[in-house]
Amino acid sequence: MGTARARAGRMDPPGRTAGVIRVVVDGNRSGSINRFSPPARAMRPDVLPREIRAMTPMRFGTRFLGAFRRTVVPLALLFGTASPAWAVLDKVVILPATPTPCDTIIARVTGTLPSTCYEIIGASVRGPETIPCMRPGPCPSQFHIDIIVREPNPDVMPPCAISPPYERTFDLPVFTAGEYTVITHERVVPFSVTDSIVSESFLTTAFVARPDSVCPPVQGCYVLALAGDRPPGPLCLVTTAPGGTACLNLVLQNTNPVAGLQTTLQISDLMKPLPGLPILSIPVASVQPVGRVAGFQVSHTEEGGKTKLILYSTSGATIEPGFGPVVRICYAIPPEPVPSTLRVDIGETIVADALGNGVPPCPTVATGFAEIGLPNICIEMPVCDLNGDGVSDVLDIIRLVRCALTSRNDSTPACPDSIAARADCNGDGTIDIRDVICCVRKIVASRPEGGTALGIGPAIEGRNSIGFEGPAQWVNEVDGIAVLRINTATDWGGTEFQIDASGARIRNLRVLDPGASSQLEWAVDGSGSARGMLFTSGVGPPRGGYRVEVMLERSPGPGATLVHLTRIRAGTWMGDPATIQSFNPDLQISAAPVTSPMLLKARPNPSAGGTEIGFVLPAEARVSLRIYDVSGRLVRTLVDGPRTTGVHRVQWDGTDDRGRTARSGIYFAKLEAGTVKRSERVLLMR
């Protein structure tokens, strides 16, 4: 019947040695029971009366262990003392006895608790996972069953009785014929939340799912995983502040159409090594279908720290094969202290096709080690969040500027200790312009959290507004220039913005005629979008407006370039939010596509010793870029090898191949790409 029964064996004394008990499984298959005793704490002799400890032998057989337990436990209960913490797995039964992939296969686990004061607080199953093996033919797949037992509360000791054997059943999603192994792991943990394990035991059972001609093979499989709502940071999928919102995407990869899925998510403290212990009750703020699930609805219930999600369609729609997010779930992180790193686990999952048949999970490789992943959610205060609103933006920079300019002798200081503690970006103990630059650069280099909804309208003198001055122009087939106009109110303190360019990337931003009191900081991300911040130091009255030059680099290929202004914020000199509208947020720039290799003009030219030389490839090619003097002598080889499609830029520092400084004069940059040859003149003036 697929039941594991111990025939003979031994148990070693406390320590990390393992007693191996041979097992006979019906159907003439064999397995093993591995029972491990953790270090001396596992036996917990400190909770036994002195007379009982004296009776405990250092080495004993399993038969004596059973008799010893049957004798000692009632005696300990009679004395009013907690029983020894050895919860034991008794057996695992696989039902039905001869399963097929079409059967509903369950594993029935029975075990014994030390007393009724012990509580099972967790029971889960995962798998199947493919086990790497050295033998020819298919390797067995593996299920893992975890049972967590908690000790009694040491501060509240109610009367304890002998506990009858417990029983738990687990569904095993078997969809293909073959060999399977079920590893059951039971562990006893202290009542208080720690990383220790009082005792643990293992039980291994094997069974075979036999093919059935009546049962057609199931086609396709799925993989379900979690991904961040935005591109992940280096350590976390999602980072938010206490009281903020953390959003995750449930990502589905399916090889066949899917008609619905059901799964359970639970959050636990990542710093606790026992998965799911303890489960934290973080409320769900919202759940919605996303991506390729048009025509689907999602519902959810929350109970005991677990969130059950059901994705379904009432119109018969299916999720076509592919990969991508299907459900977006947002958690409302409480403002009170919570663990700084949270783990989100995917529990039991059911995926069905259009006929209502179950779809199996795609096999994954079991490594034999516990999975250690990065935290899904990190909770921390944003950098330089001076006003405590959970977002670092231009409002915080304005307050930081006032903080840096304030005097300790002011009657109403703009930088009290509560703000100064969050303003010291470089950690040197003082608040000055270096902290302003430190915070600004951290903010513009971070992922933006959103912005003020833009009101579209004409530019009005004396009000905050932002927009492009058109039209933009191309210097050549690749390099273009747009001008951004920022109008300011009389109480203006700063403006934050982002520029997205479809079909191009931002190369540089600079303020035209900046003045002494303004400063622009900016950064470009990997996609070519730029995030900038223009703010004033408050020296003198604010100007009526600023003009920012935006340098663009067009990607090779046909089509127009759309430059779009987004994520706008503005603040007053006091650091309060200010209204702002856009008078021209979009700029369409047309240019002829690059159809052959091009050599761009050197910049700067003339140069006092260093210049940039660029070239454009419409297709991958082998390229050479060399510098020659007026006599045709080779001075420097800058590029010699294959290059990919796109724009490439190379710096020439005015030296030759031996590192010697080239003399002032006229030089020629010559490009060879396939059969195409181009040249440009470069002038050095030292």
Q: Which of 189, 213, 184, 228 is nearest to 91 (CA)?
A: 184
Helix, strand, coil share of the chain (percent; to 5): 10, 45, 45
- Residue 210 pLDDT more than 80? yes
Q: Identify whether 413 is preceded by a cis peptide bond (ω within 30 of 0).
A: no
Looking at residues 646-667, what average pLDDT do you find? 90
**In whole angstroms, what is the distance from residue 12 CA to residue 21 CA?**
11
Q: Which residue has the higher pLDDT, 508 or 516?
A: 508
Looking at residues 607-625, what average pLDDT do you find? 88
Give the list of residues 6+ apart from residue 627 with CB closer than 8 angstroms, or none. 634, 635, 636, 637, 638, 652, 667, 668, 669, 670, 682
Domain assignment present for 546: yes
Q: Which of 675, 670, 676 is nearest to 628 (CA)?
A: 670
pLDDT band at 407 (very low <50, low <70, confident <90, very high): low
Q: Which neighbouring-strand residues pair with 70?
A: none
On whether both 472 and 548 belong to a single domain, the answer is yes
Residue 664 belongs to domain with CATH number: 2.60.40.4070
On whether both 37 and 181 belong to a single domain, the answer is yes
Domain assignment present for 445: no
Q: What is the DSSP letter of 42?
A: G
Domain assignment present for 416: yes
Looking at residues 289-296, what average pLDDT do you find? 86
- pLDDT (0 to 100) of residue 109: 94
On whether both 548 and 616 belong to a single domain, the answer is no
Domain assignment present for 337: yes
Q: What is the pLDDT of residues 148-205, one digit of tens each?
A: 888 888 877 778 888 888 999 998 877 777 888 899 999 888 887 666 778 888 898 9
pLDDT band at 671 (very low <50, low <70, confident <90, very high): very high
Domain assignment present for 56: yes
Looking at residues 500-524, what average pLDDT do you find? 82
Q: Which neighbouring-strand residues pair with 497?
A: 532
**In whole angstroms, what is the distance from residue 340 CA to residue 239 CA?**
10
**In whole angstroms, what is the distance from residue 246 CA to residue 328 CA?**
10
394-405 vs 433-445: helix crossing angle, rounded to 10? 170
On whether both 203 and 309 belong to a single domain, the answer is no
The residue segments making up the domain with residue 147 are: 5-209
Please provide the DSSP assignment of 501-512 as one string: EETEEEEEEEEE
In this structure, are residues 177 and 138 in contact, taking their beta carbons and an 8 Å threshold? no
- pLDDT (0 to 100) of residue 645: 81
Domain assignment present for 439: no
- pLDDT (0 to 100) of residue 446: 65
Q: Which residue has the higher pLDDT, 370 or 589?
A: 589
Residue at which a domain ends, from 569, 589, 609: 589
Domain assignment present for 449: no
- pLDDT (0 to 100) of residue 540: 55
Average pLDDT, the chain: 75
Cα distances (Å, whole numbers) of residue 368 to 120, 124, 413, 431:
25, 18, 60, 52
- pLDDT (0 to 100) of residue 672: 93
Query: How large a percentage of the chain has pLDDT more than 70?
Result: 72
Strands (E), 133-221: 141-150, 166-172, 178-189, 199-209
Phi and psi at residue 278, to the nearest 5°: -90, 160
| CB contact burial 453-482 (16+ within 10 A = b; e otherwise) | ebeeeebeeebbbbbbeeebebeebbbbeb
**In whole angstroms, what is the distance from residue 493 CA to residue 517 CA?**
11
Q: Which pTM was predicted?
A: 0.44
Q: What is the pLDDT of residues 428-463, one digit of tens each?
A: 777 877 788 788 877 777 655 544 445 555 556 678
Q: What is the pLDDT of residues 48-91, one digit of tens each?
A: 333 333 333 333 343 444 444 444 444 444 444 444 456 788 89
When divided into structural domains, the chain yields a total of 5
pLDDT band at 307 (very low <50, low <70, confident <90, very high): very high
On whether both 418 and 514 belong to a single domain, the answer is no
Q: What is the pLDDT of residues 524-575, one digit of tens each?
A: 877 788 888 888 876 555 677 888 999 888 776 655 567 888 888 888 888 8
On whether both 558 and 607 belong to a single domain, the answer is no
Residue 536 belongs to domain with CATH number: 2.60.40.680
On whether both 246 and 187 belong to a single domain, the answer is no
**In whole angstroms, what is the distance from residue 672 CA to residue 337 CA?**
63
Please give the angle made by the CA atoms of 552, 553 and 557, to the nearest 5 degrees: 130
Residue at which a domain ends, from 209, 238, 260: 209
